[in-house]
Chains A and B, each alone.
Chain A
């Protein structure tokens, strides 16, 4: 059992399976492939955002502005689409990634060049970005009627039986997996979190790497901005309000250590899916969706307690007999 707790991914996968089995026993239709795909699709945006957040948390930082970035970029792209329906969707998507990246880079510059603690920076930009949505939209909504059919259709379409939105999540997850395991930048993110001092000696520019982490998180938020708006076909100031905490929750549940340096792509994906399964299971087993928040809160607490057990630093092992044991 202790071994199992150490392997966060396996433990989480089993926990997800357990919830699936328990719900399916009562309601056999829950585990049907179609519903499972729905759950995956519903968790897609959260997966991408949580991967972006992990990039930042690995470096001992935190980004509270992701949801606000998402909403601002979403509003910009929705208004652009409403005003210029002719702009092709791929251009809009690239534009979202760029805008989100710039918003993230702004966080990154403040952390890198001015050395302001990330929590203060992103607390500030969270409110600024939210406020800007109101300023550019004058408080108005952009609704389905104002969006072009292409804009809305993309995420509703399917490819090889899987919704396009799910494909986005899969591609983004693959890119993050490559980034984290196969690129010097990805490994630097881990190194900084594990031992910032040693990273400097290894020739890693800690500030610049953090800047890049914030930029990546921003770019993902921007992409999620388009996906969110096209999925829920409404852009307003309130979009994804408070969602920054759900993103962090997915990371923590997925085994990302808030102290930095620990976390895997698989873990984060499972963390997001876990929250997705819970959300989908509640209405099925006739529990009011109002339980959702308390359940994810409890899940965060449980996860952080388990994380801490795994990470607890042991003292120096001096006795030979203890070393052998």
Chain B
């Protein structure tokens, strides 16, 4: 058997308070695709950063083609022949396609100057060999996300990297584009590249990968050949226990309509969106990433103004012009991008929680610390927040606990409608269950919940009704009774019946 191109052994990486990787091993082989599988937070992205020279492991060895190497910088990883294609295509919008492909290793003329003509023609050659249909002279920002991926692949081909890491490359692609990507991966395989393929989607893994490695909580828990292993075996390794996640029983009494949107439209993001939420109901919004769900929610929350359409809350017409307006009306939003939009890192827990409720905790605009602490304590303890004190900086909390801070912040405002955008993305299983349990409690107390999620089990396990969106439009609104997962997947992806999962 041929020896692996890249071997990691005993890799350990610790951050203050978190053990991201512990004694991890990984082997990649030429001409083969190895799938790296694991839940969010299992250590996959840390491993990618170790392999690309962004992080330095605390212990362990990396060998490339049998020789031990160190990757102290991203450039060293590049020299060692490792390249990564990232989720949100970390490339350069303002630069041309050709330059995105050749930045850092552009062809030079005899004076040592960049040879643009050669660069363009070579870029064109590479792109044509991929049948990409991209003009190398246009700026990257002119391209859609799928085409940007193609540019990233072209870059990997151009630097002649022996090891290509693809970090959730299909996350934002349509089914047709995914098919095109598969062709490219075959191309890379035929070219003898060793590919590390990170994905959540089992259909993809079974379609494209030869081998797999499973991570759980920063440790490697399994490895093998895809063709010898069943999906449920892999899932078993991923979660380390019974596959069925227990969703809380639902006892909420569903009442009259609380919120209704009619014909919301936006010039570029969504069109003719109508839906309603009732008291005590969880309304699920399902769709692929980039289907326009978050954009609709942000319009409801007043962050963007829809070009047409109307909204009513408890029978009263509303048109929030800002988040502040929405919060005053009783609509709150737990954003998907927790670190950027949810918590204010750098500030303590209690200040995060009290921020939208300062009017309640203050007197005549003057802060009253005791009231703030009381408010923060009431709501964080209801959510079983794990922290050492209320003055702890939120940036030192885990993702799950940060999410609890965001939810506590909104509960303290006594909202009527709470919108949760991918509420369990990137948080550990324990916190996940806590968030799910809490959503059940909220609706029991008569709140209305909108839950945007891309996770099938979550939407099927939690929602009363499900709105499916695709390409900025509502495709279907379904009662969550006896729904088959395949139905949702097909509606969301826009594929016909024969393409069974």
Contact = CB atoms under 8 A, between A and B. Distances in A.
Interface stretch (A38-46, A107-115, A190-198): A190-198
Interface string A305-321: 00000000011111111
Given A314-B268, A315-B268, A318-B295, A201 B90 contact: yes
B399 interface: no
B304 A205 contact: no
A90 interface: no
Contacts of B351: none
Contacts of A319: 268-271, 292, 471-473
Interface string B74-96: 11011100001010001111110
Contacts of A188: 103
A183 B114 contact: yes
Interface residues of A, number: 31
B114 A182 contact: yes
Contact of B270 (A197, A202, A318): A318
A261 interface: yes
B421 interface: no
Contacts of A201: 52, 54, 74, 84, 86, 90
Interface in A18-58: none
B437 interface: no
B63 to A, nearest CB: 21
A200 B54 contact: yes
Given A182-B113, A187-B106, A194 B92 contact: yes
Contact of A318 (B90, B104, B106, B269): B269
Contacts of B472: 318-320
A86 interface: no
A102 B77 CA distance: 32
A87 interface: no
A194 B94 contact: yes
Nearest to B293: A318
Nearest to B113: A182
Given A178-B113, A203-B78, A261-B94, A320 B104 contact: no
A80 interface: no
Interface of chain A, helix or strand or loop or mixed? helix
A182 B110 CA distance: 12
A205 B144 contact: no
Nearest to B298: A315
Nearest to B54: A200
A256 to B, nearest CB: 12
Given A184-B104, A200-B74, A202-B103, A318 B95 contact: no
Interface in A198-252: 198, 200-205
A188 B103 CA distance: 8
B295 A197 contact: no
A203 B94 CA distance: 18
B93 A316 contact: no
A133 interface: no
Contacts of B304: 315
A262 B95 CA distance: 9
A322 interface: yes
Given A318-B295, A318-B472, A191 B271 contact: no
A195 B94 CA distance: 9
Contact of A181 (B52, B78, B114): B114
A187 B268 contact: no
A191 B103 contact: yes
B104 A204 contact: yes
A55 B471 CA distance: 41
Given A187-B114, A195-B93, A318 B73 contact: no
A202 B74 CA distance: 7
B368 to A, nearest CB: 35
Residue of A191, A194, A201, A314 with highest tally of chain B CB at under 10 A: A201
A318 B289 CA distance: 11
Given A316-B269, A318-B270, A322-B267, A202 B104 contact: yes
A49 to B, nearest CB: 24
B229 to A, nearest CB: 32
Interface in B199-236: none
A197 B268 contact: no
Contacts of B103: 187-188, 191, 202
B48 to A, nearest CB: 10
B99 interface: yes
A202 B106 CA distance: 12
A317 B114 CA distance: 34
A203 B73 contact: yes
A191 B268 contact: no
Interface string B236-266: 0000000000000000000000000000000
Contacts of B112: 183
Interface string B285-304: 00000111001000000001
B471 A205 contact: no
Interface in B98-114: 99, 103-104, 106, 112-114
Interface in A83-142: none
Nearest to A195: B92
Contacts of B99: 187
A324 B268 CA distance: 10
Contacts of B75: 203-205
11 contacts: A181-B116, A182-B113, A191-B103, A198-B91, A200-B74, A203-B78, A204-B74, A315-B269, A318-B270, A319-B471, A322-B269
Given A201-B54, A203-B75, 13 more contacts: A184-B114, A187-B95, A188-B103, A191-B95, A195-B92, A200-B74, A203-B73, A203-B79, A203-B104, A204-B75, A315-B295, A318-B268, A320-B471
The 5 closest A-B pairs by CB, nearest first: A203-B75, A182-B113, A198-B90, A318-B472, A322-B268
